[in-house]
Structure formats: structure tokens, C-alpha cells
Structure 1
Amino acid sequence: MKLSLNKNRKEGHEHLYCDYFADNCVYGSKDFKRRFLLSRNVFLRIVNALESRYEFFQLRYDVRGRRGFTTLHKCAANIRLMAMGESPDTMDDYMRMSERTATESLYTLSRVVVETFGDVYLRKPSLHDFQELYVAHEERHRFLGIIGSIYYTH
């Protein structure tokens, strides 16, 4: 018989919120970007879009009345998995999420992000997109010719 551990999901969520999202959070926006490889604003846009469209990403309670994971919690765990290339079982300590739950929500997150944002962000760039990228790159780096260069694709 397998015992169900009380991982205290609520405490895990509160810890995550205080570290990255509270008004006086422990880690700033630079730390967030380094750990999740995207800005906090983009992250929150993803969280809000998924929460409003998919029941899986809404806070629910199981038949025993135990609280599930919040949208913020699921997205943070899985974006961190993707960003850092970690294994799903590493989410147990800090995020209080089992390997099975992390794997299931990683699969779901990947699928619904493509469904939700694919038409806008996962398309072939247009000529206009390239022109905007070219201008932005020139303004930031002060030299031309990087777009399309094999040496600068990583």
C-alpha cells in the first residue's frame, strides 16, 4: 500500500509567491529571468492566458478536499524544468510537486502553450518581422549582418 504524503502545496505556493511575485519579493526581475529564461511579465501573461482557458490550470480540490496546485505553481515548476533542463523529480523539494504531477503538467503545459500562442509566436517570420529584428539588433549592438549568420544562432 502506497502512502500519500502531505506535501503542503499551499506552503509551496506561498513560498514561490514570496520569492518571486510579492511586492517585496526576495528575488528581483533579473533573478527571475536568469532562473526561468523569460521575463516575469511574459511569464504572467502565459499564466493568465492558461488559467482563463484551461480547467487543468485552475485551482481545484480533489474528492478528499485537498487543495491542488495553483496556475502560478504549475507554470513556474514546468517552465523552470524546460528552462534549466532539470528532471521532473527535482520539483519535489522546492515546488512540493511529485515527479508524476510535474511530468503530467509539463506535457499539458507544452501542448496548451502551442494551442494558445502557436498562431502568433510559432510561425515563420514575415519580411516585416525580419526588418523589425534587424533594426532592433542594430540599435542594441551597433553592427550589421548578424541575422542569418550561422555563427550567431546559439
Structure 2
Amino acid sequence: MSNWSSDHEVDQMVEEEVDSIVEGIQYNYTQEEEPPTPIFRRVQINRDREEDHTRLWNDYFGENPTYTPAMFRRRFRMNTPLFECIVSTIENGVPYFRQRRDATRRLGLSALQKCSAAIRMMAYGCSADAVDEYLRLAETTAHKCLEKFVDGVIHLFGDVYLRRPTAEDLERLLNIGEQRGFPGMVGSIDCMHWEWKNCPTAWKGQYSR
């Protein structure tokens, strides 16, 4: 009878020890669990993209645009016909730039708005968020427009404009540069190898070396 009693006490001690170990493991596991990831919901902003397309068209591309061709060239780093050619080619060659309707049958962003955002960011070197107020594109959308635009230009214009120049191309460019007072300009398209002269000295570090 005494042996049975001692064996029973041993079993109880073992069970209590096992339970203690299991509880400790469960406690440590729950303490090490990562907190649930918070859910961030995008703020829905009615940017009135249709009206923005109309305003953009009237500002630069209408019969009587608000801004002059010289102002367009300064802001987009190209003339209006070249810009329109690029937009048309990109729209036809890259599905992302084709205007579509969403689930509510509302028109999405036009190719003009998307290309304008991409070129503005490249022309000014500004952030994607900076084009929201005028062109009505969210920051993430502007980033995607820039990426798709660059890929489209490489794919659609690469064989013509991004190839290595031929001997005829070099001769033509050298002649044009010499006629305009820039001999040997093919050696550096940004002319950084030239002597810094008659220019603000404060800018030398930005445009030399």
C-alpha cells in the first residue's frame, strides 16, 4: 500500500512539472508574438480629374492657350509639337496610358495628364507629390506614371534616339555645333569639360567636374 502511495505522489509531481513547463512555453510564445499589423486605409480624395484635363488642355494645347509656346518649352523642356507626338505614341504603344472608365463608369486620368506628370518630374526634378495640386495625381500614381513613361520611351523610341550615333550622325552634329559656336560638342553633351568662364562662380561646383 505504501509503494502505491509513493508511486502516485511521484506521478503527481511529474504531471505538475510538465504542466509548469508547458505553461512557461505558452507564455513565452504569446509574449514573442508580433503585434498585429495596423490597417491603413487610403483617404479617398475627389481630385476632379476631368476638370483638370480640361484646364491642362486650355492652358497649353487649345486654340488660344493661356501660356505661350516659350513658357511651355521652358516648363516641359521641349516644344509643343514634340510633346504631342510623344504623348500620342506613348498612348498608342503603352496600355497604361490609355484612358479608361472605372467601375462607376467615370473616366480615368488621360494620357495627357499622365505624361505631363512624368515629364514635369523629370524637367524640374521635383517629387511625385509636387504634381498633385495642378495635375491631380496621387503620389503613388505619379510614381507609376514616371516608371511606365520611362519604360515606354525606351521601348518605343530606343531604336531611333537611344542608339549609338553613326558616322553620319556625328558629322551632322559636329557641323551643327560648329555653326552655332560650339565646336567639338559631341565630346560632352553637357559641355562640362569646357573652361568655367563668365558665369557665376557660386554655380561652378554644380556644373563642372
Alignment TM-score > 0.5, same fold = yes
Sequence identity (%): 39
Measure, in 2, the Cα distance between the counterparts of 1:127 and 1:10. Answer: 48
- Say yes or no: does 1:144 pair with 2:183: yes
Length-normalised TM-score, structure 2: 0.68
Instruction: State whether structure 2 residue 135 is matched by structure 1 residue 95.
Output: yes
Using the TM superposition, give the Cα deviation of residue 147 of structure 1 relative to its aligned residue in structure 2, in angstroms.
3.1
Aligned 1:4-153 pairs, distance under 5 A: 4-141=44-181, 144-148=183-187, 152-153=191-192
Q: Which has the higher contact order (CA 8 A, sep 6+)?
A: 1
Give structure 2 stretches of 5+ with no counterpart. Answer: 1-40, 194-209
> Which is higher, the Rg of structure 1 or of structure 2?
2
Distance 2:190 2:45 in 1: 49
RMSD: 1.8
Across the two proteins, how many residue pairs are aligned to each other?
A: 153
Deviations 1:56-80 (A, max 9, x none): 1111111122221111111011101
Question: One-letter code of the match for 1:145?
Answer: G
After superposition, give the CA deviation of every residue in 1:20-68 in whole Å (9 maximum; x if it has no partner).
1111101121111111111211111111111122221111111122221
Q: Secondary structure at the match of 1:147?
A: helix
Counterpart-to-counterpart distance in 2, 1:95 and 1:25: 17
Task: Give the letter aligned to residue 92 of structure 1.
Answer: D
**Worse-superposed segment, 7-16 or 58-67:** 58-67
How does the TM-score come out when normalised to structure 1? 0.91
Where has structure 1 moved over 6 Å in runs of 4 or more? none
Equivalent position amino acid for 2:191 in 1: Y
Secondary structure of 2:180 counterpart:
helix
Deviation at 1:149, TM superposition (A): 5.5
Post-superposition shift, 1:150?
Answer: 8.5
Equivalents in 1 of 2:175, 2:113: separation in Å? Answer: 37
